[in-house]
Every structure is written in structure tokens, then in C-alpha cells.
Amino acid sequence: MSLLSPADVRFTDSFWAPRMRTNAETTLYAQRDQIETTGRLDNFRRASGRKPDLPFQGIFFNDSDVYKWLEGAAWSLKTCPDEKMAEIVRGAVQDIVAAQRPDGYLNTYYACDLADQRWTNLKDMHELYCAGHFLQAAVARVRATGDTDLMDAAVRVADNIAATFNKDNPGACGHQECEMALVEMYRQTGDRKYLDTAVMMISARGRKPPLLGGSPYHQDHLPYNELEENVGHAVRMLYMNCGAADVALETGDPDLKKALDRLWNDFTGRKMYITGGAGARHEGEAFGGPYELPSRAYAETCAAIAVVMWSARMLCMKGDPEYADVMERALYNGVLSGLSLDGTQYFYENPLSDRGNHRRKEWYGCACCPPNLARLLAELPGYAMGVSDDTLWVNLYVRGEARFALKNGTSGTIRIDTDYPWDGKVVVTLELDRPSEFSLKLRIPDWVDAASDSINGEMPVVATAGYIKEHRLWKTGDRIELNLGMTPRTWQAHPRVEGARGRVAVSRGSLVYCLEAVDNPGFDVWDARVDPRAEWTPAFHEEILNGVVTLRAVGSAADSESWGNDLYRPAGPGTRERAVTLTAVPYYAWANREPGPMTVFI
């Protein structure tokens, strides 16, 4: 399967479409102001000689934030045209291209007084990481707008990398990212050397002598094909998995596919948060050991974004619905929690419990997450659907429409009408250029206990989790109706997940829920108890959090105040409890109101 281009899909729903508009009208403008006032754009002007007297400003990999913002702006201009933003982008492009060196090298940290040190510290200095984000921005710009100004510079950057690093002089970055970008350059240009360079970068790790110090933190302790578990810095590991999946998609390498399967099973079976988040440890922003998933999670927003990216690539490779399930879980929970409802503030970390001190910020010195969110939101329509030879795949349910073309000659428009994620009714209507025989695959998420579907009002059939495959001669006006059961469900973690032992989490549809103090006055949500068999009642509330379905259940609250100053007591009768009503809201929306305790596991 290959995903449709974001340019071919249009969202018109009340959940994602407003967020994309906010991204275009608020988030990208605010981020542009930040990269300007923090000197990130001035670094390019310094490198080009336009502002030669300025010092380099910020962290040495600040170029990457500009590139991610630019990638997001490129796709946003396609879906939400804006001439003012288009002019801002043109100015930024001119500043960037002017900073490029004659041999194609582009990095503002090493552009001036440190020019003799470029490529001398691949482990720490992120040169290839920055270059990768530049290449991805260039590909996005040409695909979204047709402008080739960045792509011309990107070819020179990629040529410089391919000429510098090869099987005779292997090289890879301490922070993976360039592997994905080089494969994308190959797809865009057809130049095989970019793919070959990506293959080299993946195979160069874990060799003797070590290329990057040999540490698990940098995933340099073993060759990729020998890895049994996800280790080290979570975003780097996940980006490497994305790059390996891209290479496997292009080359069919069976050893890479086996390694990806092992690492996927390790992640989803032992190291993934219920929100789709990744990275347990604050130290090193790293994966922990098996089942090491404390509620005070690090769970960096960029890591959840990487989970979406990796899931999508695995879905394209294997067509298995479990990858779409994880992609959806991470998207609606671990990713979306990273952005405030007004689109101006961000989480770097996404814990599953908090006392009310963790709040979003307008920007960070290390600002990798904000522009990463902006680019994902701008590109999001491209994750919703895919095509293969004679099959149209629907992976995410969002009201809107998409133009598609299959290799068997079928072409047309698919329209989806739904109030997902609040409601499980989905109506799919086809408008074809001519009647055609092909397969339509509609995903039944893993959280669905039972679903039904019908075609043109014919007798509905019960479907289970997976993809419903309907192969027939389709014509314009054909209508498929799905009804996905959205009964709230409670979940318990593996017994070895210590922080969740004896606790449950609640979800409805694709959304994981949490208790926030503001909705539960009169008791501390950390003291809340609930019977795992309790019935949670959904209700839509337009007046809070931009409109959400809340869940309510009868529970109890422990009287922790009765302990006074005692930290420990002799074991005896349990703490007194009183009956309370628990109100849960979607996890993605927490910390948008007054501060207070929050918990996912109850």
C-alpha cells in the first residue's frame, strides 16, 4: 500500500479540520515569530553574509526547527492557501538557499568560523539530522506547491552527503533522521545513490570498531538487523525504525523486515504507553526496560509523532490493521496532548499523572516538538487513506473526501461522512469516473467489540476487528455504512507495569480518558477508586474543551486526609472511602484549564 498525498485528501470534519485551520492561521505564524526572535533565521543570514556581524544563536541544531516549520508551512499552504504566509515562506527560502556553500553543504553552525570542523563529530553535532529535515522540507515544498527553489538546493545537499559518505567512508548521525529523508529524495528524483546512502547509514551502526562510540543510547552497540529491543534515546530509535522501514519498502530486504517485526513486537508488547507514547525515562529521553512504564512518563511529543510515522510505514509494508490501530492511538492521544487547544502552547513531556505543575509552554530552547507538531498536522490528511494495485484502503475515519487512482485504472472520489471520534457511524459514498471492479478495505479498529456494515442498504453483516474487504463492481452512488460500537472500555496493564498495578484506564473509541481535578471537585483524583466493571456513561458537552464527550461513573475516593502527618502506619483496616461521581475527559485535552491533579490510571 502507498498512502495518498495530503494534496489529494480534504478534511471537512469538526475535529481535525478546525485544528488544521488553527495550525495554518495561528500555530505556524506563532512559530515563525519564535524562529525569528530566537535568532534561528538570523543564523542563515549570518551564514550567507547578509548579517555577518551576528554570533551564532541558540543550540547547534537550531536549523532543524526552521526546516520542520517550513515543511509544515508547505503542506498547509496547499490545504489552507494564504498569500501572506506564502510570502513569509518565500523569504525564509531565500535566506536558507543563500546560506548554502558552493559544494552543497548547508549548516549554519559550521558555516563560518567552524567551517574546518564540519563532519568531524557525527555522534554529537546533528549535521546529518539537520540536513535530513532540510531534504524533507524541500520534498514537501515541491510536492505541495510545485516550487523547486528548495529542491534544487536539496539535490546539492544530498549529493554532498552521498559524495562524503559511502561504503568506503561510512557515516551516520548520532540522531537518526537523514535515512528517511534520503529515501524520500530517491522517491522524488529517482536517483539511486540517495537510497544507497540510506542503506549504508543503517548498516554502518553497531560495527567494530564502533562508528558512534558503541553505546545503546545511540543504537550503535549492535547492527540493526541483530537488535532484539528498542533501546536508548526514544526518538532516535523510532526514527531509525522509520528509516529502516523506508529502505525495506524500496528494497524488500528480508532481514530488515525481520528486524522491524521484532522491534515492533517489543515496542507494542512491552514498551508502549496506553496513549501510544514512547520513552519512559527522563534521563536520556530514553526507552526503559521491558514493562518499565511509569505514570510520570517522559513520553516526548516527538516520540509519539515518530510512532505515527513508523506505524504508517509498517502499514504500507504489510497492510496489517494493527499498524493503523497503533497509528490512531498515538495520533489521538500521545501526539495531540502535546498541543494546547488554541494552538499556541506545547508539551515536550506527556506524563500520565501529574499534581498540576506540568503545563504547556509557548516555546523551548530545544524546540524540536512544536514544529514537529505543526508539520504533522499539515500532513495529516495523507495518513487517512492508501491505495494498492486494485484496492482502496480507508485507515482513519474523518469527514471529508479524497481523490484516488488505482493501478488497475480505477479512479474517482471517495466521500466520508462521520462525527468520529465522538460517534461510530461512518457513511462512505463513491463517485467514480466509470463503473469499476476493485476492492474497498475499511478498517474496523481493535477497540471495537462488534461492528456492522451494509452496502446500499442491503442486509447488514457483523464485522470484527481488521479490515472489511468488499470486492465488487462499484458504481457512482454506491454507499457503505459502518456502525462501530463505541461502548467505553476499561483496561488494565500487564502485571509487571508496576505503576499501573491494581489500576485501570478507561477509553471510548480511539480516545484514552483521564481524571482532572477541575471536573472532580471535593476529592483528589489521585485518591479515586473505580470498579473495573463500572458502567461509564458518555455525554457530549459543547461548552468545555472545544466540545468533548465526557465519561461519568460511580466510584469512590479514599480519605487520604485522615492520615494527617503519618507517612506510614501499621497495616490494618483499609483507608475510609466515600462514594463519588467520577468525570473523565479525553487525555489529549488535559491541562487546558486551571491546574490540578490528573491521572489516567485509576
State the catalytic residues: 285, 368
And the C-alpha cell for 436?
A: 469499476
| Cα pseudo-dihedral 449, 453, 459, 462, rounded to 10 | -20
- Classify strands 436-444 and 391-394 as parallel, antiparallel or unpaired: parallel
Determine how many CB atoms are found less than 10 A away from the CB of residue 148: 13
Taken as a whole, the chain contains a residue count of 602
Buried b / exposed e across 220-240, counting CB within 10 Å, b at 16+? bbebbbebebbbbbbbbbbbb
CA distances from 412 to 8, 110, 389, 401, 456 (A): 11, 49, 15, 10, 18
User: What cell numbers appear for 371 in the block?
Assistant: 514544529
DSSP 292-326: ---SS----HHHHHHHHHHHHHHHHHH--HHHHHH
Side-chain-facing half-sphere of 5: CA atoms under 13 Å = 18
Do the beta carbons of residue 246 and residue 201 sit within 8 Å?
Answer: no
Checking DSSP bridges between strand 598-599 and strand 511-516, what pairing results, if any?
Answer: antiparallel
Q: In terms of DSSP bridges, do strands 451-455 and 425-432 run parallel, antiparallel, or are they unpaired?
A: unpaired
536 closest CA partner among 522, 549, 523: 549
Burial class (CB in 10 A: 0-12, 13-18, 19+), 208: exposed
Q: Counting runs of H as helices and runs of E as strands, what totals does the chain give?
A: 14, 21
DSSP string of 214-239, one letter each residue: S-GGGT-SS-GGG--S--SBHHHHHH
Residue-wise DSSP of 112-157: STTGGGTTS-TTTS-HHHHHHHHHHHHHHHHHHH---HHHHHHHHH
Residue 574's alpha-carbon distances to 103, 209, 534, in angstroms, are: 72, 58, 21
3-state secondary structure 474-517: ECCCCEEEEEECCCCEEECCCCCCHHHCCCCEEEECCEEEEEEH
313, 249 contact by CB (below 8 A) = yes
- CA 333/CA 285 separation, integer angstroms: 19
Among 439, 442, 313, residue whose Cα is nearest residue 382: 313
CA–CA separation, 516 vs 543, rounded Å?
16
Q: What angle do CA 241, 245, 247 make, to 5 degrees?
A: 120
DSSP single-letter state for residue 567: S
